[in-house]
């Protein structure tokens, strides 16, 4: 049975269809002191596949409760799919007295899951934080499908060297084009500086590929640079379209043509589903 988190209802339904498994109805309650409750009353054993993006503190609590609820109801196996793992960017202690939040979350999830599936986690090294077995799904190549067929002399760029593999995956899936990357310096949570890549963007269509668009600071800086360099159309492609605060406005003002993302985070730009990748990964870890 597929058990959906509140932030992953469309993806969980698509996974249920892909795997030909029933989709559970989750029930919610909130107590007078503010505590939340997520329950799966109809679950009656077998394998439970919890699909829950953790893009908020409430979503993290819900995920832990869903895992525990199905375990309490006699689940033979709990496979937890975290399409977008929040706190993943806090993967080290940034200063004295700081937590490694990603590790704390991974440990908590591991108490209730037999297996974990992560879609494009911010860093592959995050997998070592889990005590449970982790399968990583790379869905970046799917981002090529919604791009127009007529891209002119396309240039696929990542905003920093760390994301170059994502840009290469999309370029390969698209079938033609050049790949390059920016150098990025982050000054604060919302202030980012990108420095030019080697490639000349003048007159070309560009696709900037990243794992996450959160505040849009990184992406809008890169879009602005390309537009001032004479790029024709500039597209943004990301696995996790968080788009918090005024990210959309920043991107529009920078001159973006279109942003495309996957349904790891359910937004209006989530035009690509990772359901086939997730279904394959769940089956693989279960065998």
- Which residue, 122, 227, 223, is CA-closest to 166? 122
250 is catalytic: no
CA atoms within 13 A on the CB side of 81: 35
Binding region for ATP: 33-35, 89-90
Residue 260 pairs with which residues in a beta bridge? 237
Binding region: 33-35, 89-90, 122, 160, 186, 210
Helix (H), strand (E), coil (C) string for 11-33: HHHHHHHHHCCCECCCEEEECCC
Residues that bind ligand R5P (CB under 6 A): 89, 159, 162-163, 192, 210-219
Q: Which is nearer to ligand R5P, 140 or 219 (CB)?
A: 219
Q: Which is nearer to ligand R5P, 90 or 152 (CB)?
A: 90
Give the contacts of 148 (CB within 8 A, at least 6 positions apart): none
Give the contacts of 131 (CB within 8 A, at least 6 positions apart): 106, 107, 110, 111
CB of 272 to ligand R5P, least distance (A): 18
Cβ count near 116 (within 10 Å): 25
Give the whole-angstrom CA distance, residue 249 versus residue 194. Answer: 19
Q: Which is nearer to ligand R5P, 217 or 270 (CB)?
A: 217
Q: Which is nearer to ligand R5P, 38 or 140 (CB)?
A: 140
Give the whole-angstrom CA distance, residue 26 versus residue 122. Answer: 28
Inter-residue contact 211 to 262 (CB < 8 Å): no
Q: Which residue has the tokens 């505040």?
A: 215
The catalytic position among 103, 115, 184, 240 is 184
CB of 220 to ligand R5P, least distance (A): 8
CB of 1 to ligand R5P, least distance (A): 33
CB of 214 to ligand R5P, least distance (A): 3
Q: Name the residues annotated as catalytic.
A: 184
């Amino acid at each position: 049975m597929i058990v959906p988190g509140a932030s992953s209802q469309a993806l969980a339904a698509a996974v249920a269809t892909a795997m030909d498994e029933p989709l559970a109805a989750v029930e919610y309650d909130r107590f007078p002191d503010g505590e939340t409750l997520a329950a799966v009353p109809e679950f009656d054993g077998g394998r439970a596949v919890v699909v829950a993006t953790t893009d908020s503190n409430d979503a993290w609590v819900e995920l832990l409760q869903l895992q525990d609820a199905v375990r309490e109801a006699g689940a033979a196996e709990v496979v937890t799919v975290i399409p977008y793992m929040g706190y993943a960017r806090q993967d080290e202690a940034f200063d004295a007295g700081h937590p490694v939040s990603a590790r704390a979350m991974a440990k908590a999830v591991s108490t209730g899951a037999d297996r974990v599936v992560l879609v494009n986690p911010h860093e592959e090294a995050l997998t070592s934080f889990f005590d449970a077995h982790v399968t990583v799904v790379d869905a970046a190549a799917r981002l090529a499908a919604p791009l127009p067929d007529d891209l002119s002399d396309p240039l696929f760029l990542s905003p920093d060297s760390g994301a170059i593999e994502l840009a290469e995956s999309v370029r390969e899936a698209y079938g033609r084009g050049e790949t390059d990357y920016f150098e990025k310096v982050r000054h604060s949570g919302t202030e980012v500086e990108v420095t030019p890549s080697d490639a000349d963007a003048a007159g070309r269509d560009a696709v900037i590929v990243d794992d996450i668009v959160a505040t849009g600071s990184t992406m809008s800086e890169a879009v602005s640079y390309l537009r001032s360099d004479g790029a024709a159309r500039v597209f943004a492609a990301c696995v996790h379209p968080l788009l918090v605060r005024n990210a959309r406005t920043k991107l529009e003002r920078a001159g973006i043509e279109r942003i495309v993302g996957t349904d790891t985070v359910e937004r209006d730009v989530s035009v690509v589903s990772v359901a086939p990748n997730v279904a394959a990964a769940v089956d693989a870890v279960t065998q």
